[in-house]
Structure 1
Amino acid sequence: MKQSDFLKVVLPFKDKVFRLAKRLLVSTEEAEDATQELFLKLWKNKGKLTEYKNVEAFAMTMTKNYCFDRLKSKQAGNLTLVHSNYKEKDTSLEKKVENNDAISHVHKLIERLPEQQRVIIQLRDIEQYDFDEICKVVDMKPTAVRVALSRARKTIRQELIKQHNYGVS
């Protein structure tokens, strides 16, 4: 496989790999390192890529596993989460601050979820993967993925309702 062929295969999902790594590792620097490490591994095994039906799902599985290994070897407990994907024009400063606080709170709630639910909600609600792709990445049956996603969403919804009703975070 030539370099140009390799790039045509892997570049379309580069950002998704980074976002999953960032969701799991929290740190932008750690996520960049994980993304670079993943693409290095893919390059070293470029000859085998044609054997996979879905290279993107394979790469996402590799990313998930690599990130879990990193978290086991070095806990990143004191890193902060910063959201940079949300942009809106023509809103007041007060509304922007309010939106950023809400987004930050949802991210904190997602970070408190069990790892499996955190990965599934990232892949489904943020990366917009379909259930078949998620099943391959997390190596679970569709019913189990749907249940885990439902529980994750329910947990987040309940926490948001609790905060809204009581004004406590």
Structure 2
Amino acid sequence: MTKQDFKHSVFSLSELLFPMVSRMLGSTSKAEDAIQEIMIKLWHKRKQLSKHPNIKGFVVLTARNYCLDLLRKKKVLLEDSSDVLKLVKSTNEHLNLEWEELNSHISTILKTIPEQQKEVFIMRDLDGFDFEEIAAALQIKTSHVRVLLSRARKQISITLEKTYSYERGKY
């Protein structure tokens, strides 16, 4: 793999990786450093990488594994990822309060669902990864990713419905 090929097929994915790495490590500065280290590792493996059938999936998997290794080695405490859930900023203060409340509810719900479902939900709905990329990163089948995502969304939906139905006086 030439320098130009690497730049086009691997380095261009760094923007795609940044939200996931930032969320996993808990800060943007740590994520920037991690992305650099990941790209260096991938550069050293460029000969094997050129033969890989799913380069994008391999890059995502490498980034995820690097972050997990880093967290294990340094025993870094994850900061609350609620900043990831900031969905909408508006000039309307009332609307901002509603979004903050919704973000708070979703953060609480995410703490209660199984880890794999939470990871799939965040990777798909917040980080914007494709099913194939998630499957490659988690080393599971694409159909299993769809099942996990469906279950996570269903659990979030049920819990939110109970919360808001209760607030409206239906329960």
Q: Which category of TM-score, normalised to the shorter sequence, fits these structures?
A: 0.7 to 0.9
The superposition leaves residues 122-146 of structure 1 with CA deviations (integer Å, 9 ceiling, x where unpaired) of 3322344443333222111233222
User: 1:115 aligns to what?
Assistant: 115
- For residues 21 and 27 of structure 1, the distance between their equivalents in structure 2, rounded to whole angstroms, comes to 9
Residues 136 and 117 (structure 1), Cα distance of their counterparts in 2 relative to 1, 3 Å cut: same
Q: Residue 18 of structure 2 aligns to a residue in which SS? A: helix
How well do the aligned residues superpose, as a CA RMSD in angstroms? 2.7
Whichever residue aligns with residue 152 of structure 1, its letter is A
Give 1:112 shift: 4.6
User: 2:10 aligns to what?
Assistant: 10
Give 1:17 shift: 1.0
- For residues 71 and 157 of structure 2, the distance between their equivalents in structure 1, rounded to whole angstroms, comes to 27
Give 1:67 shift: 2.0
Q: Residue 83 of structure 1 aligns to a residue in which SS? A: helix
- For residues 50 and 120 of structure 2, the distance between their equivalents in structure 1, rounded to whole angstroms, comes to 26
- For residues 29 and 108 of structure 1, the distance between their equivalents in structure 2, rounded to whole angstroms, comes to 26
User: 2:150 aligns to what?
Assistant: 150
1:98 aligns with 2:93: no
Q: Residue 140 of structure 1 aligns to a residue in which SS? A: coil
User: 2:77 aligns to what?
Assistant: 76
Q: Residue 61 of structure 2 aligns to a residue in which SS? A: helix
Q: Does 94-103 or 44-53 show the bigger shift?
A: 94-103
Residues 7 and 19 (structure 1), Cα distance of their counterparts in 2 relative to 1, 3 Å cut: same
Residue correspondences, number: 165
User: 1:53 aligns to what?
Assistant: 53
Maintained 8 Å contact 1:121/1:152? yes
Maintained 8 Å contact 2:131/2:145? yes
Give 1:50 shift: 0.8
Maintained 8 Å contact 1:132/1:142? yes
Give 1:16 shift: 1.9
Give 1:85 shift: 6.7
Whichever residue aligns with residue 83 of structure 1, its letter is V
Whichever residue aligns with residue 92 of structure 1, its letter is N
- For residues 114 and 68 of structure 1, the distance between their equivalents in structure 2, rounded to whole angstroms, comes to 17
User: 1:64 aligns to what?
Assistant: 64
- For residues 60 and 72 of structure 2, the distance between their equivalents in structure 1, rounded to whole angstroms, comes to 18
TM-score norm. by structure 1 comes to 0.78
- For residues 13 and 97 of structure 2, the distance between their equivalents in structure 1, rounded to whole angstroms, comes to 31
